[in-house]
Structure 1
């Protein structure tokens, strides 16, 4: 399909980063863009600086041709039009409709669901269901990673309720939440699209038992269900007045904007959650209405494809220089690797090149004293994203934030410039790429735009590779075998048999 263009891309000259800056005085203006999150300046802005990547005019032009060849505009229109973009499951992917951008009927339905959610959130915060100081949110995968990230990023200070997100079936995780919460003032949010996910439902049952053991009157009355299968929640025992539905066309790792965001709204209050949605909608509109390399998620995808396809990079690193974004690399791991970690195209034919790189990362400045050795002097070329906020998230001496940001920007400069030395052990090769995303501040609006940017970046990458980013059959086989173990009567390989016997499972 785009094979000839890939061949042409591979033949283009690959100047060093220093050479690219020397050859083009306008490089920074071309590849660094300030995105205004809303029409009102108070919504804030985000700088997306891709100038320290190896994208140049020739590569961008070729990638724009590739996007046209792969019908990027058509695929994007199908996404926003509510058409089937997940062919293996015959589904649309309507997470943008949750933010008010998409097919008219889907946007209207999402607004109705949000109105119901807002009413319940506001009623709980007013005390209509008794005193609520804690929420234990139980989910897994996208039903947990998004809420955990958003609460940690936006509600470290001044949270209206104390939120604990539990995803692991390991009872230690649930016990830790129990120890931090008073059962008399705790609500349980059970987040499951199907309301059958074994890890989530097992944890939910244990949480219900915890309420009963602590003599909570009407424990089911302390449960809110977040699901696309309301009838299953009713069967489980949740009253329909405490069920917050969302559409079947909203995928798990794209579901933070739906009722899965209930604990975020509880922690922040509905007005801030609405700002979060609005920030994402601003990025949706930019992605929908902007063509070529001026489209920020598409530009990022061009760089991603450059490094995976043309430079053989197998990983991509993300370092947030802000403690509030500690969980961002974990969130992006699922978003990118579950979406684009495929070996076949959307039409079922084998891919003809690498797909998603391994996403990994951490928090600066901690990571500088752990993994940056490899980034600067290792044999692996690793493109890096740095993410930071101009405004600090604390009230301590400004020196803390000055040192933090200085380190962030210094790392990008050092990766690019390198340093020669007669001592090989002290030599830095340089010419190592990075991109920087700089928020004015971490607010609900800018954070919403940041997450939406990465969703669209993931989709744009999928289009360029010709794959379907909205299914995830790779997670199913292990689940099936786990169910076979639970049911018994099935033989496995000698190693697995021995391990199961050692633990007394069989």
Structure 2
């Protein structure tokens, strides 16, 4: 999508203009930009869908942004947005659409993709999910021994784990009070350590498992699922005086979520306990549909639909707003500027709200699995940087961990600070509410102060007296601040959609496909071959010296 002539991004006129422009700003300190542009907050801040996006602490000026808008136009961003949202085959390597945005369309919308209106099918899948959720919330889902289900363990990895885990944690405050209590847990690791913990503590009579896998072939998930099935069969088939059939145990204790219903059936999932979605939904973009079952179980379907509505509001903004007002486009262009023209290859995500504990991990997959590419859409190697290394942690904790590097390390890092403006209004006890609100103000003070010090360095201090070098701060570290009016299902939906669309815009400009992940496939294939050797069913002699030594060390440990 780089241009109509298939020029690579770095040969576009605007790219060359930006290279020369960057030379004029490369050594301009942020404190200077703020000193000469007192209206930066107004110029570089936008508000929509319950979010405030502050880009004033980026190391750019009005001219930079104009050049970036030109680059986006030359790269075909406006037409690419239309192609994404209308269901064109933007996933070129797999020759299919990437229609996660369709999962959050309202029921009265119409979207015809290759001759089929998919909105009705999407809402039928949500209705099917709602029926399962309602049974569990009403205490009507009973296990093989007749007891109501109290625990749901989601077995998934990657997009089938990170999204639901992040959202259920973030929105735990929105759990309905008038439902049968159902606790949701997550097990993703193939080594079984998470699952083993649950199996040691949960009652098999009141526990069900959700197998979430788009392909239903993911070895991580299936290994956990097979262990869970054997645990249930061993615990329940001999329960009481009358044996219980294995078929009944599997039927009553497993739900499947996949794009491969035939594989779910083959594994043993009952037809009416299968939730499906489509090949055009990428795994890391799938929490908006039936993969979001754990979210609906925690927050209820009304809040789940509010979550979808919040994302849809950002979709509409993305589709309709001019680039100069378009939050995803602006956020994406800041990233392009930092990576390709200021040579900043590290990006840290820093939420200042404990409910967003897993947001950085979620974005790590969203961004690095999507844009960690080195080949263009036409199959040519790129000769420019694409996705930066992304990492993060809760900001208050990170202050006591890696902020040392941010403030005084040797490499530049761009940071995203994320926080809600309001919190704890719903706490009933006035004394507790007052203390918690004070803690929220403390978190915001730290959030705002850290971004200020990263920007200004020593100039953030009123008294810049003599100090040794090890107590000095250089500043000039760029950052973005995203403020939520409040952390609600709707604003969380719009926040996630903001980052989804940012990733897409960057992929368009870099001319890469953000909707495949071939880079993870080879490792899985080699792991399968290696497992055969570990199990004495393959040829050890063809392994390299290191791998051979590691396998022999494992064999020796087995013999002890």
Indicate the TM-score class for this superposition, using the shorter chain for normalisation. over 0.9
Q: How does 1:174-253 map to 2 (within 5 A)?
A: 174-215=195-236, 218-220=248-250, 221-253=252-284
Residue 105 of structure 2 is matched in structure 1 by 100
How far is the alpha carbon of 1:385 from its aligned partner? 0.4
Aligned partner of 1:499 in structure 2 is 550
| SS of structure 2 residue aligned to 1:475 | helix
Deviation for aligned residue 1:350: 1.3
Partner of 1:63: 68
Matches within 5 A, 1:357-506: 357-392=388-423, 395=427, 396=432, 397=435, 398-419=437-458, 421-488=466-533, 489-490=538-539, 491-504=542-555
- Per the alignment, in what secondary structure is the counterpart of residue 164 of structure 1? strand
Distance 1:296 1:390 in 2: 18
Q: Deviations over 1:339-364 (max 9, x none)?
A: 00011111111112100000011112
> Where does structure 1 lack aligned partners over 5 or more consecutive residues?
38-44
Instruction: Give the distance between the partners of 1:8 and 1:33, measured in 2 at CA.
Output: 26
Q: Secondary structure at the match of 1:384?
A: strand
Aligned residue in 2 for 1:126: 138
Paired residue for 2:353?
A: 322
RMSD: 1.8
Equivalent in the alignment of 2:241: none
Which of 141, 149, 171 is matched with 2:166 structurally?
149
Aligned residue runs from structure 1 range 308-319, under 5 A: 308-319=339-350
User: How far off its partner does 1:21 sit?
Assistant: 2.4
Cα deviation digits, residues 70-95 of structure 1 (max 9, x gap): 11111111111111111111111010
- 2:123 paired residue among 92, 101, 111: 111
Pair 1:468–1:452, CA change in 2 (3 A): same
Q: Partner of 2:399: helix, strand, or coil?
A: helix
Q: Does 1:80 align with 2:85?
A: yes
Q: Give the conservation status (yes or no) of the 8 Å contact 1:80–1:103.
A: no
Give how far 1:404 is off.
1.1
Q: Which has the larger radius of gyration?
A: 2
SS in 1 for 2:194: helix
Please say if residues 163 and 263 of structure 1, whose CA atoms lie closer than 8 Å, have aligned partners that are also in contact.
yes
In 2, are the aligned partners of 1:194 and 1:227 still within 8 Å (CA)? Answer: yes
Secondary structure of the 2:347 match is: strand
Structure 2 residue runs without a partner (length 5+): 1-6, 143-147, 238-243, 459-463
- CA deviation map 1:327-382 (0-9, x unaligned): 11111111100000011111111112100000011112111111111111111110
Q: Are 1:285 and 2:316 counterparts?
A: yes
SS at match of 1:330: helix
Given the two structures, how large is their TM-score scaled by the length of structure 1? 0.95
Deviation at 1:123, TM superposition (A): 2.1
The count of aligned residue pairs is 498
Instruction: Tell which deviates more after alignment, 302-311 or 14-23.
Output: 14-23
After superposition, the C-alpha distances for 1:246-299 in whole angstroms (9 at most, x for unaligned) are 011000000001110001101111101111111110111111111213110110
